[in-house]
Structure 1
Amino acid sequence: MALLDRVSTLLRANLNDLVEKAEDPERMLKQVVLDMENQLMQVKTQVAIAIADQHLLEKKKAEHEQQAAEWRRKAELAVQKGQDDLARAALERALSQDQLQIGFTTQSEDQKHEADNLRQALHKLEQKLTETRAHCEMLIAEHRRARVIGRAAKAQHVVGNDQESTIGRMKSKVHVTAAENAAATEVLTPESLEDKFRALESQDKVELMLKEIKSRQPAQ
């Protein structure tokens, strides 16, 4: 049956795989539950129809069984009355009813098998629906939590980058300002007495080094 094939497909469905492939996992999960609920209602309807058909076939089987027994009783009565031709006709009717009874017995057994399959499918689908609802709720909550965490991480990353960029600009500005201040201090600060003596000493050293170089030169 196509219905049982659809039910079997739903029972084999792997929610985790579906979630990974879905563009909108929440919508997909809700649709899966809705599909299962719809299939469950259809299976319930089919189970009721199958059971009703089974009862009808069993009733027909019992009716033909009773009619076959009645024609046999009539055949016995005809034999008792010495009417063999009438007895033969009654027995033919009994055999015809036997064939109908056998046919309805086969149909009833087949219908019972189908009804049992539908009952099992209904039971499995009810269990699967209960599990799927719980699983879907868990996956939806997990998906929402992942989205919130993702947004928070993204926001933190953006804020962190902005902060680092701002701090970097401030550090650079501070370094430039410090250098400028140092240069201005060096230029504007008056030369001290110690600085003057160091300058004289430096000049003396330069003169001595110059004389030493000249002394090593050959006489002209």
Structure 2
Amino acid sequence: MGLFTRFTDIINANLNSMLDKAEQPEKMIRLIIQEMEETLVEVRATAAKNIAEQKTLARKIGAVEKSITHWHGKAEVALEKGRDDLAKAALTQKHKYQAEQEQLHEENNQLTEFLTAVQDDAQRLQEKLNEAKRRQDALLLRQASAEVRLKVREKAAVYNIDEAIGKFERYQQKIDRIEAEVEAFDMTENKDLSAQISALEQDDNIELELAQMKKQAANG
């Protein structure tokens, strides 16, 4: 695709319409911006090349004007000396350079018109590029906003899950307390039983000691 064919397509492009139809607007606008930037570089390079050419033309025009002045002076000198033949020859050279001057001026005018058009087109392209970048910034802002909103939704979902788990843990703790009470009750019962048995054992010891004391007393 030629530079100006592509340029015309970009200039005439409706960004809103292109983005509305795109499946991936953010990708589409990146491509548009890249295309515009590359085209703008080419347009500026073309303008620079033609500006350099215009400067060359200006130097040529200046040289031709000097030649015209030079041969005109020669013709005047020849006339003063009565040499019409030399004056005619000098004027012939002058006319040759005048014809070249006209051609160079024509080329310079065409180049000036071309450069003016290129500058206007470059300005329009820059405006399109600025518009595309604004759209890109808007898309990025929307994307960032959507991501934040998604995170909020995800956190809300996590909170709901955490709340459910919390309820389950509280229920589990309630069961643990009930089980602990049962265990405490069992431990209390076992302790009472042990105390009763110990009391019986103590009674036996007392009875045994009492019997021994009676036996000793009888033997004495």
Coarse TM-score class (shorter-chain normalised): 0.5 to 0.7
Paired letter, 1:122: A
> In 2, distance between residues paired with 1:15 and 1:106?
39
**Preserved CA contact (<8 Å) 1:25 1:140:** no
Are 2:4 and 1:4 equivalent residues in the alignment? yes
Q: What are the residue-to-residue correspondences of 1:58-77 with 2, within 5 Å? A: 58-77=58-77
Shift of 1:7: 2.1
In structure 2, the CA distance between the partners of 1:69 and 1:105, relative to structure 1 (3 Å rule), is: same
Structure 2, unmatched stretches of 5+, are 157-220
The two structures, once aligned, show a CA RMSD in angstroms of 2.5
**Preserved CA contact (<8 Å) 1:61 1:102:** no
Instruction: Give SS of 2:98's match.
Output: helix
**Preserved CA contact (<8 Å) 1:62 1:101:** no
Residue of structure 1 equivalent to 2:13? 13
Q: What are the residue-to-residue correspondences of 1:150-189 with 2, within 5 Å? A: none
TM-score w.r.t. length of structure 1: 0.62
Q: What are the residue-to-residue correspondences of 1:69-148 with 2, within 5 Å? A: 69-142=69-142
TM-score w.r.t. length of structure 2: 0.62
> In 1, distance between residues paired with 2:57 and 2:81?
36
Q: Deviations over 1:46-101 (max 9, x none)?
A: 11111111121122122112201110100111111121111111110000000000
Instruction: Give SS of 1:82's match.
Output: coil
Paired letter, 2:59: K
Instruction: Give SS of 1:46's match.
Output: helix
> In 2, distance between residues paired with 1:63 and 1:117?
28
Rg larger in 1 or in 2? 2
Higher mean C-alpha displacement, 141-150 vs 41-50: 141-150
> In 1, distance between residues paired with 2:60 and 2:132?
42
